A and B are shown apart, each in its own frame.
Chain A
Amino acid sequence: MKEIQDVVKNLTDKYGSKRESLLPILQGITEEQNYLSSEAMLEIARALDISAAEVYGTASFYSFLDTVPRGKYVIRVCRTIVCDMHGKKQIVKTLEDLLKIKVGETTHNGKFTLLETNCLGWCHKGPCILVNDDIYTEITPAMVNEIINKYRNK
């Protein structure tokens, strides 16, 4: 893995080192390292010349900016009402059985994290899941296996 200083440097070169660069930088780190480590947040604070508490305070506000270790692929199952009505629970159950983890946990090999999330904006095609940035709609328990295999072999 690249040194965190280099990662942050690349991002500040791209987005600048002003306060308004903070969100794009946090997003960039999350993309590269799956989550925001304390080291990363401290380095950002140094680079932007703001307190580490400001960095953590901002990061922890956003549900897509994780401050605890996450798997390479973060699976987010939509739990909002229409997806819930259309079989979200079976999807979660299938994922839990398949990955042998509960919602909120990460697999041993660090490949998958399973989370629930609020409305993904596909209510007409629920249930739906987001795997990193990829969306899967109208999924069935049978399809879950296929989707997971795709990422397993990546």
Chain B
Amino acid sequence: METKKIKRVDFIFSQDFKVSEVLFNTFKKTRDEILQEIIDSDLKGRGGAGFPTGLKWKAAKEDKITEKYIICNADEGEPGTFKDRAILEEASQKVFGGMAICAKVIGAKKGWIYLRGEYKFLIPHLRKEMAIFHDMLHNELGFDFTIDIFTGSGAYVCGEETALLQSMEGKRGEPRNKPPYPTNIGLYNKPTVVNNVETLVLSMMVVKIGAEEFKKLGIQDARGGKLFSVSGDTPKSGIHELEFGMLLSDFVEEFGDGDTKAVQVGGASGFCVPRKKFDTTTIGYKGKLKGTSLPTGGSMMLFNSSRSMYNVLHNYLEFFAEESCGQCTPCRVGTQQLLKGIEAIKKGEKSHEYLEALLSLSETMKLTSKCGLGQSVANSFSSIVENFREEMIY
């Protein structure tokens, strides 16, 4: 099994280059050259789903419609994730830079930052930084691209790209059917690239240092570094930029409090890994790795042995039941039934065999829900129920 020792990376927040210089050098290249660099780098979306960024840009670039958009997804709502906020606070110029590079490649003149309502306090700062960026982009580089901010209003599901688009169009944030994908039919039915905040910063890193250099970091399908939001029972909670491919056991040794019983990788929609699996789990995207490799938007929540995993799961399920948009039945009813179900088992109103029925319900939700929200409830549900079964019952 290929793994890497924990290694700190410093790109996202480093101040060792000027955004304007990187853009100036990048804009000398052709659109195809820039795109090829992104494709070659194997850069994958850092929001959690891990779709190859280059392919997303390529699809939008090849669309014949001339009016195109780029949206920076800053609707960071996954429990345990807070890195996008930090990027916007400390490295917003790089985010704008990444958006401009994407705009160049796909041929967009307009971009938005979809900022979650909870981060409204960032707006004055972002507006100020944006004015500086626009001045540089328009007057120094003569590049016609303008960014604006769109504020969300408290809906986790709007982090799903098509729900985000619905929301920007003034509608309920209910995900659309895919296909068609936003890269062809996006905002106002125009080709639209929706990228996570961190992904945009990294696309800038790729064009600056080159795909080859970027790929030296990480393993196999998971290249580069990643910002991890570390929280829970840890003395080192905060944001840490680490190389992909580390073993969870190394992570726990570095960040745990000595009594870690489980780590939730990827937030409430991710997986719960119990202590016995720490040394067979790596952090990266799903690839041909042996053992388990978990993708993640970077949320790492540590729980020590004083925590009840029933309470943890109960908290997640309350979250999902409330945040389900209600559009499709498996997710709307499923989230409520899973929550009621574990409560009934805990109270002794249902026998422990009922857990099997609930596991099968979560599997149905995975297969039949319309978007990632309903599909991923089974991740935390089954990984907690299967690994901490006795805590669910007694």
Contacts and interface: CB of A to CB of B under 8 A. Distances in A.
10 contacts: A19-B169, A24-B150, A65-B153, A80-B79, A82-B301, A119-B79, A119-B156, A121-B85, A124-B237, A126-B231
Interface stretch (A3-11, A56-64, A97-105, A143-151): A56-64
A134 interface: yes
B10 to A, nearest CB: 19
Given A85-B232, A118-B323, A134-B121, A80 B155 contact: no
Contact of A123 (B156, B172, B237, B315): B237
Interface in A25-65: 26-27, 57-58, 61-65
A108 to B, nearest CB: 26
A81 B272 CA distance: 13
Interface of B is mostly: mixed
B238 interface: yes
A121 B170 CA distance: 25
A121 B230 contact: no
Contacts of B268: 80-81
A126 B154 CA distance: 19
A118 B322 contact: yes
A117 B318 CA distance: 11
B79 A135 contact: no
A96 interface: no
Nearest to A30: B153
Contacts of B51: none
Contact of A20 (B119, B120, B168, B307): B168
B378 to A, nearest CB: 18
Interface residues of B, number: 52
A82 B323 CA distance: 18
Given A57-B172, A118-B322, A121-B119, A81 B77 contact: no
Given A24-B151, A118-B156, A118-B322, 17 more contacts: A19-B170, A27-B117, A58-B172, A61-B172, A62-B152, A64-B154, A65-B154, A81-B316, A82-B301, A118-B77, A118-B323, A121-B76, A121-B77, A121-B85, A121-B116, A121-B119, A123-B229
B232 A63 contact: no
A99 B233 CA distance: 31
Interface of A: 18-24, 26-27, 57-58, 61-65, 79-82, 84-85, 117-126, 130, 133-135
Contact of A63 (B119, B155, B239, B315): B155
B118 interface: yes
A58 B171 contact: yes
Interface in B136-186: 150-156, 167-174
Interface of B: 76-82, 84-85, 116-121, 150-156, 167-174, 188, 229-233, 237-239, 268, 301, 303, 307, 311-312, 315-316, 318-319, 322-323, 325
A26 B153 contact: yes
Nearest to B82: A121
A146 to B, nearest CB: 19
A124 B238 CA distance: 5
Nearest to A19: B170
Which of A79, A81, A135 has the most chain B CB atoms closer than 10 A to its own CB? A81
Contacts of B312: 81
B247 to A, nearest CB: 23
A123 B301 contact: yes
Report which residue of A22, A61, A64, A122 has the largest number of chain B beta carbons within 10 angstroms of its beta carbon. Answer: A61
Given A61-B173, A62-B153, A64-B153, A120 B118 contact: yes
Contacts of A82: 79-80, 231-232, 301
Nearest to B316: A81
Contacts of B238: 124
A21 B170 contact: yes
